[in-house]
A and B are shown apart, each in its own frame.
Chain A
Amino acid sequence: MPKDTAFLPILSALCLALAIGVSPAAQGDTGPVVRLFPTTVLEDIRETGQVAEDMENNLQEVIHRLDLQQQLYTESLCQGADGDQGCERIAKQLGATYLEMLDVMSERLPEMERAVNGTRSSLEKRLREELGQRTTPTTLQNTLLGESAGAASPEQRPALRGRSGVRLSDRFKQYYDLVATHREGPGQSLAVVAADIYLDMEEASHLIAATQQEIARASLMEQLNQSFGLITPEMAAVVGGVKEILFGESVREGPIAAPPYQIGEAEFESPLAM
């Protein structure tokens, strides 16, 4: 089903955006050399996060209603009960709610597209200037390893690309921990966080347009189905996909990072070490 996969990167990018968006403190915590999150970028991210949050709030109620109607349909043994007037009524109500969900999405997507593109552009500029032009491969490696004091350890970091499995609001709390770590000192993961958000936003901006087209097609199909009162597998798949993205009802890929490490107490330091 193209639609539910199409939405994944968009909203997963926004998970990150939501989280980083709450952190005015993160702005000053990137250290004097690499400044990836100045106020302008943070504002863009915050706005994108707000749009995603609004979408979550709007869709939650509709999806809850869809769940209840689906449950009623199943418990009434309507599957395959052709000609039953009660079942036809439930199916039509389900279809109408589904259309409502598509309406909410198509209403919110243009705003999200604008916000995503804005964030992508501002992050792109920062990445190019700070990591691309002002950083050598050697210093980039040092930045990632976090030679500065107070760097976040991997277990304190949230899982990045491939995140999911929890509600957006819960991810928001996870990222708050990241922000708190950055407040105490420069952390190495900001470059990774910036790269992660940027790549997701880039993918999202391509997919939003495709998703909008897909919604238009699905709306038309459902309007036709309303005449016959059908619940299609396509409807179920779309609803399932949206629920997975927003409310994390299925677990996806693991984090990119390897198992956490701790620095040994008496680590040998060679005079040859870089």
Chain B
Amino acid sequence: MRKVLLIAAAALGLAACATQETADYCSARLSGNLDSAMAEASERLAKGCEFQFDGYFQQLLAIAEANPDAKNRMRFSDFLMRANDMEVISRRQAQALYNRYFGVKFVSLQGDYNTCSQTCPQRDRVLSNMQAELHDKELGLLRASADQQSFYRADNLLKEAELVLEATCSACEAGARR
């Protein structure tokens, strides 16, 4: 009986150590250049650290921001595709993340219903979300990828969308009043 208890205690201790090791392994900061950090992140994701995906993504953005390069967009695209292949994130999540940070178009202004019925009733919220997304694009496009032209396009798109939505929603409201 005493022997059994000793074995059980030893097994529990080993399991606890293993859990602690895994937690340490997953939560250790990514370092090095972007390529090696992405490789490290992908390896960890494949070894059970999926729950850390958001944290890794933010760390990778910070590394990219410190080392701006036009190819960083491509590196992030590949990283997100790998994460999707590993089924850590869905294709839709990968698209949303990539476009939020590295695309000119706004994820916040999407939808399959017409503008009068979908966007106009919540125009202020949509524009506020677009403004927040522009900050993420500033990080992804301007600071991490040194792509001023694409960032200006996004900035311009937001201003034009604001103007066109104001006019369109006003026209929709006038039509609804009749």
1/0 per residue, CB under 8 A from A, across B146-172: the answer is: 011110110111011101101111111
Question: Which residues of chain A have C-beta atoms less than 8 A from B171's C-beta?
Answer: 123-125, 127-128, 131-132, 198
1/0 per residue, CB under 8 A from B, across A223-255: the answer is: 000000000000000000000000000000000
A192–B164 CB distance below 8 A: yes
Complex formed: what's the CA distance from A158 to B133 in Å? 27
B58 at the interface (CB under 8 A from A): no
Question: Which residues of chain A have C-beta atoms less than 8 A from B112's C-beta?
Answer: 136, 138
**What's the dominant secondary structure at chain A's contact region?**
helix
Complex formed: what's the CA distance from A262 to B156 in Å? 13
Closest to B153 in A: A261
Q: Pick from A38-46, A79-87, A140-148, A167-175 the stretch touching chain B.
A: A140-148
**What's the dominant secondary structure at chain B's contact region?**
helix
Q: Which of A182-205 contact B (CB under 8 A)?
A: 189, 191-192, 194-196, 198-199, 202
9 cross-chain pairs, A with B, having the tightest CB-CB distances, nearest first: A195-B167, A270-B77, A132-B116, A272-B98, A127-B171, A128-B171, A261-B149, A137-B111, A195-B164
Partner-A contacts on B (CB < 8 A): 70-71, 73-74, 77, 80-81, 94-95, 98-99, 102-107, 109-116, 118-120, 126, 147-150, 152-153, 155-157, 159-161, 163-164, 166-172, 174-175
Partner-B contacts on A (CB < 8 A): 123-125, 127-128, 131-138, 140-142, 144-145, 154, 160-161, 189, 191-192, 194-196, 198-199, 202, 256-264, 268, 270-274
26 A/B residue pairs, CB under 8 Å, sorted by A: A124-B171, A128-B172, A131-B171, A134-B114, A135-B114, A136-B113, A137-B109, A137-B126, A140-B161, A141-B157, A144-B160, A144-B161, A144-B164, A145-B153, A194-B167, A199-B170, A257-B159, A258-B156, A261-B152, A268-B70, A268-B71, A268-B73, A270-B74, A270-B102, A272-B99, A274-B99
